[in-house]
Structure 1
């Protein structure tokens, strides 16, 4: 295996010159650089990554701090990670996933103090996220995929939740729905200050108010069982609901299962729209889910590019960007039925269906059977 000394001999330069070409620690003329690179190629020399890091005081590693539970990563979350990993690799960096949450501050402080990371990306951001202060205190460059309550002075990329929720509500209202229920993340997520849960809660209330409609939000545990329980709670409070808007990928299949268990067709009796969802997840459902498609891969890429500008240039330039989810209409949303079996949009007959009285009776019968 070729060594740095072998490269230096073939290129007829000093070993330190080879080191400077590798690390960029000192300026080297273009002619000398080309000789060294040609010698490396001829010898198939593979520089030792750790040695390069020590020489340049860089690890070439960025950390993605993503709290995880027993659910692991879903397809939509994975898009954020793969987008970030691809961008890091393209820039010659390694992305390391670390499950550091807001309750792991001592571990984060140790990790940051050891200078193993050139920079850090934070996901699952809370409105008051103590990880930010720890990284700032130690001096590690950081970028948020999400936002704190006051993100001034911080670089972040995030979903434009106001526009995303407004577009989803507009879609359902445009179809003729007037009783729409929003299934959010869990009550614990709301209490803990999880940014997306709180921002979408407020955005849903505002979007419904803009149409003169009453909002109803139901929190749900991040599981299929949580989705089933949320729909049961929704019908208890709004037995006349005709549409469900959900931002809980783990619960959405429980939502569909509970509707089917109650004898309700999607979208004939109840339309379902899933927010911040990947096409892969949307296509798993039957019918395929109308979804506000997540820009996760793009956000992961932009976050890494922003972070590396902080790491490489250290210019302190703040970058803040919001991207909305994009509506993709599939089979789970349609106009609500009326007693006459026609759509409320007035554009023609819907497929044959029982009237609302029969649907309500069917729901009550299903509830009695489940009791």
Structure 2
């Protein structure tokens, strides 16, 4: 199926220019308008019913700022979504209220966005039935337990948790720990946290390792308490996986304060954006914020163009080795 991107390439203009020709939202020179229309006709482009008349050229990014959400990483997602959306001639409306199913239904009925990107997805997310019934294109960054009738994209967090364990086991570690998100994130059954933990635990059993996993709370002293609890429960720990950007740097400091040198005594891995791991010189599984955001926008634009992408796209985890482990 021909898309706006195809028309833009054929006409030699930006995708946003094609959108402006369709919607009349901004002035386009007569010559450019004719060229775009000719490309549409030659390529056989057929905009969806709403394109010419009721399109707002707005994507709603539904990102509730709940307890336990790490704002710096959230804002990286926002920036990446906005940047990708502009390449398609779309603006982004950020919705941070935790309105649940009722709030999402109200947004859809309000008609102030052409499509939706939904984040902080829970395994049994109450917003899913609304997404299936509301009749507007939507893409989830994250995925619930059942993806039928949806379009979702995510890092394969279960594989990421397992990849950490396999990497550490291959280095010869037998006793490993995991410090995760705040307990409230697990209590909400947030998909990324639950899946990473499941992957970590299953791989530890498969590799015959001794392991323990604990949440790490937010606020001052959280990392100190988390590291202290883990060392008390698993004093022989020789490797640690951290999935909590808010406390990551402090965890390394706490280990050193406890007399555990990194990496000589304890190997540390993180699941986080690559830039953060790079600053701390930690081996990591990359959280590919930019790729997830860009692919999510591409998927929702495909749906606006009348195509139906796969229900679930999972990005394989990518390991970035650094100096935080010993061979």
Report the TM-score when normalising by structure 1.
0.71
Equivalent runs, 1:116-131 vs 2, <5 Å: 116-131=112-127
Task: Report the alpha carbon displacement of residue 330 of structure 1 after superposing the two structures with TM.
Answer: 1.4
Q: What SS does the aligned partner of 2:210 have?
A: coil
Q: Which has the larger radius of gyration?
A: 1
Task: Report the alpha carbon displacement of residue 132 of structure 1 after superposing the two structures with TM.
Answer: 2.3
Task: Report the alpha carbon displacement of residue 35 of structure 1 after superposing the two structures with TM.
Answer: 7.3
Q: 2:226 aligns with which of 215, 227, 230?
A: 230
Q: 1:290 aligns with which of 283, 287, 309?
A: 283
User: Contact 2:299/2:309 (CA < 8 Å) preserved in 1?
Assistant: no
Shift of the 74–155 alpha-carbon distance from structure 1 to 2, 3 Å rule, reads same
Task: Extract unaligned runs of 5+ from structure 1.
Answer: 1-19, 26-31, 39-52, 336-371
Equivalent runs, 1:195-344 vs 2, <5 Å: 195-223=191-219, 225-275=221-271, 277-285=272-280, 288-313=281-306, 315-335=307-327
Equivalent runs, 1:8-157 vs 2, <5 Å: 22-23=21-22, 34=31, 56-69=53-66, 74-101=71-98, 103-157=99-153
- Distance in 2 (alpha carbons) for counterparts of 1:65 and 1:248: 22
Q: What SS does the aligned partner of 1:96 have?
A: strand
How large is the Cα RMSD of the aligned pairs? 2.7
1:369: which partner in 2? none
Task: Report the alpha carbon displacement of residue 87 of structure 1 after superposing the two structures with TM.
Answer: 2.1
Whether 1:178 aligns to 2:174 is yes
Whether 1:164 aligns to 2:156 is no
- Distance in 2 (alpha carbons) for counterparts of 1:165 and 1:71: 20
User: Contact 1:222/1:248 (CA < 8 Å) preserved in 2?
Assistant: no
User: Contact 2:68/2:184 (CA < 8 Å) preserved in 1?
Assistant: no
- Distance in 1 (alpha carbons) for counterparts of 2:275 and 2:32: 48
Q: How many corresponding residue pairs? A: 291
Q: What SS does the aligned partner of 2:128 have?
A: helix
Q: Could you list the per-position Cα deviations for residues 16-71 of structure 1 after superposition, in whole angstroms to 9, with x for gaps in the alignment?
A: xxxx983369xxxxxx9637569xxxxxxxxxxxxxx9962011000111122588
Shift of the 278–54 alpha-carbon distance from structure 1 to 2, 3 Å rule, reads closer
Task: Extract unaligned runs of 5+ from structure 2.
Answer: 1-18, 36-49
Report the TM-score when normalising by structure 2.
0.80
